[in-house]
Every structure is written in structure tokens, then in C-alpha cells.
Chain A
């Protein structure tokens, strides 16, 4: 029997107080995610249960019980407090998927500070704009990422503490740097938990838009209510499950469902901190008896490419429930997983701003392969006319996905950008920026983004950010960036550039520009293809017309070009 039971009954009788009761929370009480994910589980008598099986490079393994993560997060919290970090301060986590990343997440929350997780593959420019925007006071990182932090430190007057979790005494620490070793630190058994309330800020995730710099999405401790219940009903985690969320906590899936959801339920999770290989992933599932697996379409399609025969070499019979998020899961991938794992990957839809799953295929529900599924109980979602923002009355029409605000994990604002936050609402609907249709059974069908943001491997990349970075390359005069279709990643970044006089368009320069962006922004943002142009299509006032380049890549009609060389 699945946790959700009968979907229609849940819809009829739904109230978020279901989660509040299960979490012993009442309005006005203290609610601290760090405490809920560790101390509370120990108070329930589950302190000896394994919270984390961790495996890194070279077969390096560690495991932590719930009591271990309680004490470790206390220890980290106390260390930060001693440095002077206080409630409301932003603390960036800039680490690979090592245990300290997960434990620091709880430790920062326990002292009332705000966690700012950032993907460790970000280059120095990506790191700089996000730390500057958040006025981050401390960053917890590893030796291998220190050079990126050092490069931008002088641009960040608020960054007072750089905490290195794996310092080995080989090279001297530099300005603002301090070593912290969880293994050597005196364990702190009792830590005063900061009395955060429902609206106290908790996590600040950064996401990209079409224009402007990345935006900091502010979440609050009350998000736990949504994250707990969606984990329970959608991911269907049960007492004896071993759960694997393959997402990196630098992105929202990795925190909402890679930390908060499973640990607030007291569920054991496993983390693999190595690069991707189909064989390594199957071996990991077999070794740890993974029963619930939450992954992404890009990874699933990569597994498909590795072939069916490889799957047969492993005992994957522990798998009970599979789910997917990040971009739409194509029907072929759903059918393939039914064939090789004897169960489908169930697609789910949500985004950084929503904080928790909004539309999904539930356990036990009829799956329509290629569909996003139905709304989570308690969520009012529909498809609205893009011109009037009124819901369509007939099924099958393509419009904008829209949600009535008010669920617990909804972002509270964009950091220092209320104006942008307000623009996300039209006629009382929150618009996530995606197009879809809704069929007569209430299933949503994804069409695409409603803007120029590129969804590559489930991660959003801002064309503006890449275009700006390209202009910093000595050879580039002008740039335009669009999505290009891709079999595995759904979309990848493609750049069109014109060159400055004296530079020859050749393959060697293309590679140099690719690597320049990879190091400055991130591998995700690196154009996988660069096309040299004599001129870029522009309006009369000089605005580059991305839509023409986008249409070219997607083999679409360019449409009305009368505005070419004219202002749109």
C-alpha cells in the first residue's frame, strides 16, 4: 500500500495540517529544519538508525547514524557561532557531495543562519555574482575549490570567513581562511537551536532567468511542511527504505529531496559522490539495496544509452519505486524503465521557486507516458491563456502553467528583488514560466519554456549570463546564446559570435572560447557549439534577436521577420 492511498480521496480531504500534525507542529511554534532532520528523529528513538551511507572516489566509504548527524551538525553550528555567525547571516556551502556538505546544511540552519548552497563546479564568475548578491558572510568549502574563492575575495567585502573542511597543513592558509575538521573537532552533544519560526528564512538557492543576474530564491523553515508531505506521498518513502536522490545539493532537488524530505521522515539515504558511469550507478544500487530512486531524465537517458545488457549484470531487485525530475521525462524513457527495471520512472514537476513537487505521477496512479501527471493535493494548478491569464475552459489548449499561491514551500521573494518576484504573478496566479496543456483527465503535458532560459540536463542556464561572459573573451565582439536540441540533455547551450578584427574563426579558437566559459561560469554553461557569424540578426536599435537564431536551431518557422532591423 502506498503512503498516499487513494488520490481522489486525498484531494477531497486535503489540508496542510495533515503534515503539521505528523510533525507535531502548531502555528506559532518554533520550526527549525535542522532540528527536525536530526534531533527530532533521535527523540523518536531512531538515533542508531543509519541516516547516511556515503561513498566517494576510490571506494571511500562512510556512514552516519541519525545521532551522528545530530552531533556533527551541532558541532558545525557551534563552530560557526564561535566565528560570530548569527541568525540571518548567509553561509554558502561550496563543496562536492561530501558528508560535510549535508551536515553543514543542518548545522547552519540550527543556528538560524541561511544556507546558500552552490554547485561546486561553478567557476569564479558564477560564484562571485551569487556571493555578492547575497552578501554572504561565510563560505564552507574544500581545498580544491579554494583558488576560485581566493580569486574573488577582494571583490567581496562581506565575506569574512572561508572555512576549509579538509585542510592538510601542506600550504599555508590565506586571508580570512580557517580550517575546520569534523573528525578532529570536539563533538558538541548539545547545541542551542535557534528558535526559528515558520517565516524565518532557511535556504537561498540561486536560479537563472532570461535577463539580469541570477536570482536568489528565498525559502523559509515552514517549507518543511510541503517537503515532508510530498516526500511521503510522492516518493513514497517507508520505514525500511534505502533512498537515493542523485541530485547535487547545489540545486534545489538536492536539498528539498536530498536532505530535508528523507531526513525529516527519519529515512536512510545513500549518496554517491563520484562522476557518472552507468556501471557504477547500478553497482551502487545493488550494494546498498536502494529501494527508492529519485533521478533525472538526463541520467535516465544516459543509462538507456549504456544498454539493456548492462542492467542484467546487476541484482537490482531491491528497487521498489522510481521517480524523476528536472525536465520532462520522455515516453521512451518511461517505457524503457518498465522494460528493464519492471517499473516506470514516475515524472514530477516543480522548480526552485516552488520549493516542493507541484505536479506528479503518484504511486498507484495510471501513468500516461510522457505526461507530467496531476497536481499534488492542496495545490490548485491549471493552464491559463497567455494573453488573458484566465484558465482555459477546454482541455488540450496550450498555455502557461499557473498555480494559486499559498502552499508552504512557495518562495517568499527573490533576494533583494521584490520587483522581479511580483512580476511572477498575474491575476492571482503564480506563473513558473513553462508552457503546457491539460487533458480532460487532469494530466498536464509539458510543451516548453515560455522564455529563452535554457534547460540543460535539468539545470537552468541564463543566455544573458553566457552572452555577457562571452563578451569578456578577447576575441568576441558580439554574442547571442540559445538552446539547441539534444538527445540526452534535452537542450544544450549554443553560441553565435562575431569576432573582433584580427581574429580568425577556426576550431582552435572555438575550443578556447568553450573552455573560457567552462572555467568562468560552469561546465553546464559552456557552449557545446559555437557558430561564427559575420553579423547577428538585430533590431534597428541594435537588440539581438535571439528568436531567429532559436528558430534556426529548432528547425522552426522564423515567423514574422518584418521587425528584423526594426524595433520589436
Chain B
């Protein structure tokens, strides 16, 4: 089964990276790095909720918690156990 971090990384690359953007890693800053803006973060949150059948409360969906693939994975794991 594909690891969560690869699923998230691939989704971010496919959905949010512009042509000619630098390659990203699991630790690349997504929000503070300007790859995913605060409005688009809502669609990323929705993707995680759909993909892992979880519900992430708004107070947990902070720019800091979404700032890298690794941080997102940690957040998802809080809810998937």
C-alpha cells in the first residue's frame, strides 16, 4: 500500500505545483513557501478527509500543521490512529 506521505506528496505535485516550480520533498514548506495558499489549503484538507475518511477540525487545520508533507502526515495520523 502506498505510504501516506507519498500519496500526499503526489497529490501536492499534481494539484498545486506550477510548471517550472522547483521539485519538492517531504519537508518543503508548502504554506510558508507559497506553494499552497491559505484558500487552497481548504481543498487539500478536503482531499485528506476524503482519502482517509477522517474529519480534521478547523482548529487543527492551521497553516503550520499543513506546512510540509511530513507535518500533514503527522496530522493525518492523529486521526487515523
Q: What sequence of 0s and 1s flags, for each residue 482-501 of chain A, a beta carbon within 8 Å of any chain B beta carbon? A: 00000001000000000000
B18 touches A275 (CB 8 A): no
CB distance from A487 to the nearest CB of B (A): 8
B19 touches A275 (CB 8 A): no
B31 touches A275 (CB 8 A): yes
A528 touches B33 (CB 8 A): no
Q: Out of A144, A278, A489, A524, which one reaches B18, CB within 8 Å?
A: A144
CB distance from A141 to the nearest CB of B (A): 11
* A169 proximity list for chain B (CB < 8 A): none
* A280 proximity list for chain B (CB < 8 A): 32
User: CA–CA, A489 to B63, complex, Å?
Assistant: 14
Q: Identify which of A121, A147, A277 gathers the most chain B CB atoms within 10 Å of its CB.
A: A277
* A508 proximity list for chain B (CB < 8 A): 50
- Nearest residue in A to B49 (C-beta to C-beta)? A507
CB distance from B68 to the nearest CB of A (A): 12
* B36 proximity list for chain A (CB < 8 A): 275
Q: What sequence of 0s and 1s flags, for each residue 12-51 of chain B, a beta carbon within 8 Å of any chain A beta carbon? A: 0001001111000000011111111111101100110110
User: CA–CA, A280 to B37, complex, Å?
Assistant: 15
User: CA–CA, A164 to B72, complex, Å?
Assistant: 34
Q: Out of B21, B30, B46, which one reaches A514, CB within 8 Å?
A: B46
B64 touches A277 (CB 8 A): yes
Q: Out of B32, B43, B62, which one reaches A275, CB within 8 Å?
A: B32
- Nearest residue in A to B30 (C-beta to C-beta)? A275
User: CA–CA, A523 to B47, complex, Å?
Assistant: 15
B19 touches A144 (CB 8 A): yes
Question: In terms of DSSP, what is the predominant structure of the interface of chain A?
Answer: helix
User: CA–CA, A526 to B38, complex, Å?
Assistant: 12
A276 touches B31 (CB 8 A): yes
User: CA–CA, A279 to B65, complex, Å?
Assistant: 13
* A528 proximity list for chain B (CB < 8 A): 39, 42
Given A144-B18, A147-B18, A526-B42: A302 touches B63 (CB 8 Å cut-off): yes
A57 touches B34 (CB 8 A): yes
- Nearest residue in A to B43 (C-beta to C-beta)? A514
Q: What sequence of 0s and 1s flags, for each residue 40-78 of chain A, a beta carbon within 8 Å of any chain B beta carbon? A: 000000000000000001000000000000000000000
User: CA–CA, A507 to B49, complex, Å?
Assistant: 9
B15 touches A515 (CB 8 A): yes
Q: Out of B40, B42, B46, B63, which one reaches A507, CB within 8 Å?
A: B46
User: CA–CA, A145 to B29, complex, Å?
Assistant: 20
B38 touches A302 (CB 8 A): yes
User: CA–CA, A528 to B36, complex, Å?
Assistant: 15
CB distance from A36 to the nearest CB of B (A): 31
User: CA–CA, A514 to B43, complex, Å?
Assistant: 7
Check A197 for interface membership: any CB of B closer than 8 A: no
* A146 proximity list for chain B (CB < 8 A): 19-20
B18 touches A526 (CB 8 A): no
* B47 proximity list for chain A (CB < 8 A): 511
Check A510 for interface membership: any CB of B closer than 8 A: yes
User: CA–CA, A200 to B46, complex, Å?
Assistant: 48
User: CA–CA, A57 to B30, complex, Å?
Assistant: 11
Q: Identify which of A507, A510, A523, A526 gathers the most chain B CB atoms within 10 Å of its CB.
A: A523
Q: What sequence of 0s and 1s flags, for each residue 517-540 of chain A, a beta carbon within 8 Å of any chain B beta carbon? A: 010000110101000000000000
A277 touches B63 (CB 8 A): yes
* A273 proximity list for chain B (CB < 8 A): 34
- Nearest residue in A to B37 (C-beta to C-beta)? A523
* A518 proximity list for chain B (CB < 8 A): 39-40, 43
Given A518-B43, A526-B43: A276 touches B18 (CB 8 Å cut-off): no
Q: What sequence of 0s and 1s flags, for each residue 141-152 of chain A, a beta carbon within 8 Å of any chain B beta carbon? A: 001111100000
Q: Out of A275, A278, A489, which one reaches B29, CB within 8 Å?
A: A275
Q: Out of A275, A457, A489, A514, which one reaches B34, CB within 8 Å?
A: A275
Given A144-B20, A147-B19, A511-B50: A526 touches B32 (CB 8 Å cut-off): no
* A526 proximity list for chain B (CB < 8 A): 39-40, 42-43
CB distance from A561 to the nearest CB of B (A): 32
User: CA–CA, A273 to B35, complex, Å?
Assistant: 12
Q: What sequence of 0s and 1s flags, for each residue 274-288 of chain A, a beta carbon within 8 Å of any chain B beta carbon? A: 111111100000000
- Nearest residue in B to A146 (C-beta to C-beta)? B19
Q: What sequence of 0s and 1s flags, for each residue 53-69 of chain B, a beta carbon within 8 Å of any chain A beta carbon? A: 00000000011100100
B20 touches A143 (CB 8 A): yes
21 contacts between A and B (CB under 8 A): A57-B33, A121-B37, A144-B21, A145-B18, A147-B19, A273-B34, A275-B29, A275-B36, A275-B63, A276-B38, A277-B63, A278-B63, A279-B64, A280-B32, A302-B38, A507-B49, A514-B42, A514-B43, A515-B43, A526-B39, A528-B39
Pick the 8 closest A-B CB pairs, nearest first: A523-B39, A277-B32, A275-B34, A144-B18, A143-B20, A147-B19, A523-B40, A507-B50
Beyond the given A144-B19, A275-B30, please list 20 additional residue pairs across the A-B interface where CB-CB is below 8 A: A57-B33, A143-B20, A144-B21, A274-B34, A275-B35, A275-B63, A278-B64, A280-B32, A302-B38, A456-B39, A457-B39, A510-B46, A511-B43, A511-B50, A514-B42, A514-B46, A518-B43, A526-B39, A526-B40, A526-B43
List A residues at the B interface (Cβ < 8 Å).
57, 96, 121, 143-147, 273-280, 302, 305-306, 456-457, 489, 507-508, 510-511, 514-515, 518, 523-524, 526, 528
List B residues at the A interface (Cβ < 8 Å).
15, 18-21, 29-40, 42-43, 46-47, 49-50, 62-64, 67
